[in-house]
Structure 1
Amino acid sequence: MTAPSPSDTDNGLPIRLLHDRVLVRLEGSEGERRSAAGIVIPATAAIGHRLAWATAVGVGPNVRSIVNGDRVLFDPDDRSEVELHGEAYVLLRERDVHAVAARRVENDGTGLYL
């Protein structure tokens, strides 16, 4: 077994992700939400299927489109939760991420992900 490279431990997490796995930290809470107009929406309000935003804090070696710090959009119903150092994270596969909101998007790309 080889020692983890410095890039594996830069995020301060005690794990090294494998294959196409992405470790994310959820943004905000899953309880009450506030609309753009400032109206409080209780957690019990019935709404359609809602995707969630999270911040990538670790990526596996085979992840092609996500880097640490990217905001990703995913389905919170298809998630695996893990706790590290008392903090909750979500473990996803790259294919389970629906979109990436990143400042580094290149203008010369086609925007297609095959």
Structure 2
Amino acid sequence: MTADQHTEQGLPIRLLHDRVLVRLEGIEGERRSTAGIVIPATASVGKRLSWASAVGVGPNVRSIVVGDRVLFDPDDRSEVELHGREYVLLRERDVHAVAAERVQPDATGLYL
């Protein structure tokens, strides 16, 4: 595999072992319910998982490729800043699910 297949083009990083570099989707803070009600960031809703896009994977990552959307626990994360953008560094085992377009059309779209 070439370096471009392991990380988003232009990132000055080479991930090792089973590490996955992700970029959070949207912004953290207030959000809207399906009915349009604004829920403030300070509202306690229990443990909530977050979606992010994989922008880099280490050589030992088997189930995630660059471009996949991954579901992870935001409490178990390490943040890093590269080129002025915030990223999260995870271990592959800390990813709970992957939503990828490459799964079969009749599948659920999620796999572990």
- Shorter-chain TM-score bucket reads 0.7 to 0.9
Greater mean alpha carbon deviation, residues 60-69 or residues 7-16: 7-16
- Quote the Cα distance in structure 1 between the aligned partners of 2:48 and 2:85: 23
Residue 15 of structure 1 corresponds to 13
Residue 94 of structure 1 corresponds to 92
Greater mean alpha carbon deviation, residues 10-19 or residues 80-89: 10-19
Question: Percent of pairs identical after alignment?
Answer: 78
Q: Which amino acid aligns with 2:74?
A: P
Q: Which amino acid aligns with 2:47?
A: H
Q: Where do 1:1-114 residues align within 5 Å?
A: 5-8=3-6, 11-106=9-104
CA shift, 1:6, in A, is: 4.8
After TM superposition, the runs of 4+ consecutive aligned structure 1 residues lying more than 4 A away are none
CA shift, 1:14, in A, is: 0.3
Q: Tell me the TM-score normalised to structure 1 length.
A: 0.85
Structure 2 unaligned residues grouped into runs of 5+: none
Preserved contact between residue 22 and residue 55 of structure 2 (Cα < 8 Å): yes
- Quote the Cα distance in structure 2 between the aligned partners of 1:48 and 1:76: 12
Q: Tell me the TM-score normalised to structure 2 length.
A: 0.87
CA RMSD, aligned part only? 2.2
- Quote the Cα distance in structure 2 between the aligned partners of 1:102 and 1:93: 18
Task: Kindly name which structure, 1 or 2, has the bigger radius of gyration based on alpha carbons.
Answer: 1
Structure 1 unaligned residues grouped into runs of 5+: none
Preserved contact between residue 22 and residue 91 of structure 1 (Cα < 8 Å): yes
- Quote the Cα distance in structure 1 between the aligned partners of 2:100 and 2:72: 15
**Secondary structure, counterpart of 2:54 in structure 1:** strand
Count how many residue pairs are aligned between Structure 1 and Structure 2.
109
CA shift, 1:105, in A, is: 1.5
Preserved contact between residue 20 and residue 63 of structure 1 (Cα < 8 Å): yes
CA shift, 1:30, in A, is: 1.1
